[in-house]
Structure 1
Amino acid sequence: MYRNLWTNGPKECLEFPDYTFDEHFGKALPSYPPRKVLLDYLKGRWKSEGDLKKWIRFNNCVRHVQYDEVSKTFQVQVEDLANRQLLPSETFDYVVVASGHFSTPILPDFPGLDHFPGRVSHAHDFRDATQYKGKRILAVGASYSVEDIATQCVKFGAKSVVISSNKSEKMGYDWPMSISERPLLQKVEGSMCFFIDGSSAEVDAIIFCTGYRYHYPYMEENLRLKTRNVFYPPNLYKGLLWMGPKGDGNQNGDGKLLYIGMSDLLYSFTLFDVEAHWAVKYIMGQIKVVEKGDMEQDWKQWVARLNKVESDLGLIRFQGAHIKDMSADSGYPYDVNVYDMFEGWYKDKREPNHGIMTYRDKSFTSKYTGTKAPLPVQPFMEAFDDSLECFVNGDHPQGD
C-alpha cells in the first residue's frame, strides 16, 4: 500500500457490520480515508475479540503442502526464516489458503522495451508518486490500479500520463487534459512509444498496471489453484472449497482444502468476512454438504453466470449475489449488500467535470449506523497530508 494511497471506494462499502467505523473512531469520518486510517480500523477489528497474535507463528514461511491420501491429512513443511531452517513436516486436518493473489506481478514484454532509457516498473513496486514529478508517464493497464496511479502521478506533479490498454473501449472517464487514453502499446524505440493505432508518445517512465498471477508454488500440483483474475474462480465450490481434478493417482484434498479471498474484488472486507464465516462453519461440520456431483454443477453454474455478465454494475450485482448465497448457506447474521452505494460510486466516477478526480469528495451513509459521513476538509486532489492524525482529527463539515 503505497504512500498517499486513499481508498478508491467508500468506506461504507467495506465496513464490518459488527465493528463499525463509528465504534472504532468514536466519531464520523469522511467516506474515503487514506491507507493508515484503514489499517488502524483493521487493527481494531483484529483486537476486538482478543489477541490474535497468540494464534500466529510469525517469520514462518510455508514451503510445501502435500495431501496424504491414506491418512486423509496434509503434510505441511515450514521454514523458520529467523534461523534459516526448514522445520520437520507437521500434520493438519484442514488447510486454508488465504494469502491473497496480488503479490506476483504480470509483466508483459514489448519489442524494444529492454532498450527504453527510463524507468520501467510494475504497480507492485509503486511507492511514491512524487518521484514522477515533472515526468511524462506511460501507464499500461485498464483497471483500478491504472486509474489510481495515473491520478496520483498527476496529483503530485507529473507532466502527463498516457494510459494504454488492450480494451476496445475507453474507460469512460472525463480525464483532465494531462491524462489521455491510447490503445495497446505496440513497440518502444528509445523513449518513443508506438501504439497499435499508429499514434506515438515520448515518455520518461513506463508503469505496468497489468495485474498479478495466482502463484502458490508451495502447494502440491493437484492442490494448486490456477486461474486468471475473475469474480468466480473455477474448481471452487461456493468460491471457496477446492474441487480441482485428481491426477497421477493423487487425491485433491477430499474436501479439506479451502481458498479464501481468491475472487476479483468489488466488495472486499465484507466478502472476506462472509467467506471466513462459511469456512469456519464448514470445518466445524455445521454446513450441510451436498453430493460432489452437485457441488461441481453448482460452481460451474456460477462460472457460466459470470461469463454472461456484460457490465461493471453487473459484476457488482454478481458478487453481491455470491455473498448472499454464502451468507444463506452459513447463517451469516448480517446483510452486507450495498449495491446502491456501489452504484452511486460508479456514477460519481463518471460524472463530467473530471468526476474520476473528484469522486472521493463525496459522502455516503453507513448501512449499519445510519451515520452520514461528513465531507472532507480538503478535496482529494488538494489533500497532501495522508496521516491518521490529520484525517481523524481534522475539522470535517457535515455532509449535506
Structure 2
Amino acid sequence: MRVAIIGAGPSGMAQMRAFEAASRAGEEIPEFVCFEKQSDWGGQWNYTWRTGLDEHGEPVHSSMYRNLWSNGPKEVLEFADYTFDEHFGRPISSYPPRPVLWDYISGRVEKSGVRQHVRFSTVVRWVDYDDAAEQFTVTSEDLPSGTTTSETFDRVIVGVGHFSFPRMPDFDGIETFPGRVMHAHDFRGAEDLAGRDLLVIGSSYSAEDIGSQAHKMGARSVTASYRTAPMGYEWPDGFEEKPLVLRFEGSTAHFADGTSREFDAVVMCTGYLHKYPFLPDDLALDSPNNVYPAGLYKGVVWQRNPHLFYLGAQDQWLTFNMFDAQAWFVRDLILGKIEMPPAEERQADIDTWLARFEAIETVADEVRFQVEYTGELIEATDYPMFDLEEVIEIFLAWKRDKKDDIMGYRDRTYRSVMTGTIAATHHTRWVDELDDSIARYLAPVPTDAVGAGAPRAPR
C-alpha cells in the first residue's frame, strides 16, 4: 500500500508522526510520501515575508505574521506524547510567540526522523481517482526544476488546512481608498502602523489579534468594524468598535450607525475559504468554517470515497492535539486496526454528530463538542488519553481572562494537562515585549524587563 499525504503543516506532521509511532511499536506501515509546497515544514507556522506569490510564482500558503503570539494557552494544544517540558527542558509561559511554537512542533517530528518522507518545494497539481483500480493518481510538480510526476497511491490524506485562500468582500467606493488595503492573509507586521489610523473589518480572532498588535506597535487609533455583533472587550483608549462599513469615499469610511472616520490602512479580517484546487469536485470538501463540516465520517473520512481523508478541516478550538487524534485514527483505519463501516453506518454517524452540532447554543457548548469529538477518536486508538475536562476548564478560563483584560490575558499562566507543570511567568508583559525572538523569549530575565508586573495566580 502507498499513502500520499498532501501538506507538511501541523496536520501532515501529525500524520507522519502517527505512522512513525506505529513503526516504532513494531507494526508494519505502508509506504508514505508527503508533498509540501513550501521549502520547509510547519504550514501556517512556517513564516515568510512574502505575500501574494512565492519565489516560484505559487500562491503563498502561510497567513502567519511576524508579531504573532499564541492567542490561546499552550496547555490546550500540547501534544500528549511530546510535552513542552520535554522539548524545552523547563517550564515556559502559557502564551509563546510564533518562533517558539514553530520550534516545538518542528522539534517533535525532527526527533521522529520523518523528514526523509517529505518532498519539499513540491506542489500537488491534480488528484484523480480510478474506481475500477481503486487507486488515486497524484500529479505533482517539483517547483525548482519544473519537473512534473504522476504516481499512483491507494490512500490520500489531505492536510493542507483551510486558512490560505482569503474571503475578500467588496465595499462601495473602496477603489477610491488611497491607503493600503489587504486581507489578514497578507498582513506581515504592525510596525509600519505606528502613528497611523487602522480599520480592521471583522469581529473574530484575526480582527482581535491584528488590532491588538497594531495598538501594541503604536498605532494612533484602531477601529474594528463588525457585521453582526461587536467583540465587546474593554479596549484601551484609541481602540473602538463600529458597525459595518457601508461605503468608502477616499480615505473616509462611512459606518452603518451614520458616523464616519478617516483611515490610513484597512485590513480585511473576513475569514477564509475551503478551497482545494488540486481536487475534482467529487473529492473536494465544500463547507463553511464550522466545527463539524458535513460529508466527513468522524470528521476525517470523505463519505463519498472512504479512501480519501481530511485532517484539520474543522474550525478549531483544539489544534495540535486534535490533529494528532485525527491522524492516529486515520492511521488505524488504513492499517485495518479500526474497521471502516459501510456507507450507511458512516452516514448515520455523520447525521448523529451533525444533529449535535446543530444543537450548539453557546461557546461553552462548542468547546465541549470539539473536546468530546477529539476524545472519541483518542479512545479508538493508542494515542495517550489526557484530562479532557481540564482542557474544557482552561478554555473557559481563557475566555473569562480575555473579557477581564484583553490586552493582558497573555500574561496569565495555566497548569499543563499533560505534566501538571505550572507555566512560567514571562519576564516581560506581552504589551511591553517588542522582541518576539526565541532567544529573547528563553533568556533569563533581561535587565530591561521592567514591565513584568505581578502575574495573576496560576490556574
Pairwise TM-score range, normalised by the shorter structure: over 0.9
Structure 1 counterpart of 2:343, from 266, 280, 292 = 292
Cα displacement (A) at 1:115 = 1.1
Are residues 1:222 and 2:282 paired? yes
For 1:92-241, list aligned pairs within 5 A.
Answer: 92-167=153-228, 169-241=229-301
**Larger CA deviation: 258-267 vs 295-304:** 295-304
Give the TM-score, by structure 1 length: 0.93
Deviation at 1:178? 1.3
Write the mapping of 1:349-364 to structure 2, written as runs, cut at 5 A.
Answer: 349-351=402-404, 355-364=405-414
- Give the alignment of 1:37-56 within 5 angstroms: 37-49=100-112, 51-56=113-118
Cα contact 1:361–1:376 (8 A) shared by 2: yes
Correspondence 1:377 to 2:427: yes
TM-score, length basis structure 2: 0.82
Matched-pair contact (CA < 8 Å) for 2:311–2:327? yes
Match of 2:386 in 1: 335
> 1:118 is aligned with what amino acid?
G
Q: Quote how far apart the aligned CAs of 1:257 are.
A: 0.2
Contact 1:119 1:206 in 2 (8 A): yes
Task: Supply the distance in 2 between the matched residues of 1:312 and 1:199 (Cα, whole angstroms).
Answer: 31
- Structure 2 distance, partners of 1:161, 1:305, is 38
Matched AA of 2:258: G
Q: Could you say what secondary structure the match of 1:356 adopts?
A: coil
Equivalent residues in 2 for 1:229-378, closer than 5 Å: 229-244=289-304, 253=305, 255-335=306-386, 337=388, 338-351=391-404, 355-378=405-428
The code of the aligned residue for 1:302 comes to W
Equivalent residue in structure 1 for 2:76, among 2, 13, 16: 13
| Alpha-carbon offset, residue 330 of structure 1 | 3.0
Separation of aligned partners in 2, 1:125 and 1:108: 15
Unpaired stretches in structure 2, ≥5 consecutive residues? 1-63, 446-451
Q: Structure 1 residues 191, 384: CA separation in 2 closer, same or farther (over 3 Å shift)?
A: same
Q: Does 1:391 align with 2:391?
A: no
Separation of aligned partners in 1, 2:66 and 2:383: 35
CA distance in 2, matches of 1:317, 1:209: 26
In the other structure, the counterpart of 1:91 is 152
| Structure 1 position 31 matched with structure 2 position 94 | yes
Secondary structure of 1:105's match? Answer: coil
Task: Give the partner amino acid of 2:107.
Answer: G
Structure 1 distance, partners of 2:238, 2:351, is 44
Secondary structure, in 3 states, of the residue corresponding to 1:330?
A: coil
Task: Mark the runs of 5 or more structure 1 residues left unpaired by the alignment.
Answer: 245-252
Q: Which residue of 2 aligns with 1:249?
A: none
- Whether the 8 Å contact between 1:372 and 1:399 is mirrored in structure 2 is no
Report the Cα offset of residue 198 of structure 1: 1.6
Q: Deviations over 1:321-348 (max 9, x none)?
A: 1101212233433125211111111100
**How far apart are residue 58 of structure 1 and its match?**
1.4
User: What's the offset of the Cα at 1:292?
Assistant: 1.2
Q: CA deviation at 1:170?
A: 2.1
- Report what 1:250 is aligned to: none
1:30-49 CA distances to partner (integer Å, 9 max, x unpaired)? 11110111111112111232
Whole-angstrom CA distance in 2 between matches of 1:192 and 1:300? 48
Q: Contact conserved, 1:46 with 1:52, CA < 8 A, in 2?
A: yes
For 1:52 and 1:148, locate their aligned partners in 2 and report how far apart those are by CA, in whole Å: 33
Task: Summarize deviations over 1:219-259 as a string: whole Å, max 9, x none.
Answer: 12200111111111110000000014xxxxxxxx3x10000
Distance in structure 1 (CA, Å) of the matches to 2:344 and 2:380: 18
Is the contact between residue 109 and residue 115 of structure 2 (CA under 8 Å) also seen in structure 1?
no
Q: Which moved more, 1:20-29 or 1:330-339?
A: 330-339
2:139 maps to which residue? 77
Q: Which amino acid aligns with 1:264?
A: D
Q: What is the CA–CA distance in structure 2 between the aligned matches of 1:162 and 1:28, rounded to whole Å?
A: 37
d(CA) in 2 for partners of 1:48, 1:309:
40
Offset, 1:388: 0.5
Is structure 2 residue 103 aligned with structure 1 residue 61?
Answer: no
| Cα separation, 2, equivalents of 1:330 and 1:12 | 22
Conserved? CA contact 1:374–1:398, under 8 Å: no
Q: Secondary structure at the match of 2:119?
A: coil
Larger RCO, structures 1/2 (Cα 8 Å, 6+ apart): 1
Aligned equivalents of 2:200 and 2:291: distance in 1? 24
What is the alpha-carbon distance in structure 1 between the residues aligned to residue 326 and residue 290 of structure 2?
Answer: 16
Aligned residues of 1:373 and 1:398 also touching (Cα < 8 A): no
Maintained 8 Å contact 1:159/1:178 = yes
1:109 CA displacement: 0.2
Moved over 6 A (4+): 396-399
The question of whether the paired residues in 2 share the 8 Å contact of 1:17 and 1:336 is answered with no
Using the aligned pairs only, state the percent identity: 42
C-alpha contact (below 8 Å) 2:386/2:417 kept by paired residues: no
